[in-house]
Structure 1
Amino acid sequence: MTCTVRGATQLKDGQIHTDSLSKLITVLIYLNPPWKDEGGRLRVLRCGDDLNDYAEEIEPSSGNLMIFRRSDRSWHGHEPFQGRRRTIQINWVTSQAVADRERKRHRVSATLKRLNPFAARTA
């Protein structure tokens, strides 16, 4: 299992994707005040090439939870949003080696953001 805490979203985030093959289950817990923006709302998509062809849209407001099993058809994404968007993401992954690699990657990323706060806002 891995756990990632995010505090912000950039305009480049939210592109249509399925999670990586190393992920089995994804849990998203949102921790934001009532969401007013049109961007940043997670869309569960019917296909991998149209962000507007969605089966469900999840507002990232506090207490909302999304759980899904990764597959070749588990497309999701959101309209562009830049700013504070707090999320806890928990993933069950295929092996301990994957979990260890992800923890190391996030540790390096967090260290770089602490060393260069400007990069954290623009990365």
Structure 2
Amino acid sequence: MQTPIEPPVAPDKVTGVKHIFAATRYSAAGFLRLWGETAFRHELLAASGLLIVLGVIGAPALAILSVAILSLVTLAVEALNTAVEELVDHVSPEWSLPAKHAKDMGSFAVMALLFATGLAFAAGVWAALSI
């Protein structure tokens, strides 16, 4: 005879100063989950490489700052894209056109930011080499 499995109990809501520490733990857990995504690791490596190149060639500070900000936004959107994919897979485990559309749009959002970061990088290289 199988014992019935009880559903998980939601944790108590954390408030006050303890919430800051809890939020930090949640963010760290999110980072660790994202680390399991190949795309996230590639984007993090690419961002680091772009920033190193800009620093080595003496790009203007504004170019380096622009690439840094766009890279962070790209990583944030990658996190949201991964969250969308997780939810879609949970809610709609079977293939469906709306699920495909949701995943494709999340992917497009990341791609658009990758292009924007690439343009900012190219502008930084252009500025550094034109000086």
TM-score normalised according to structure 2 size: 0.25
Which structure ranks higher in relative contact order (CA pairs < 8 Å, sequence separation ≥ 6)? 1
Greater gyration radius: 2
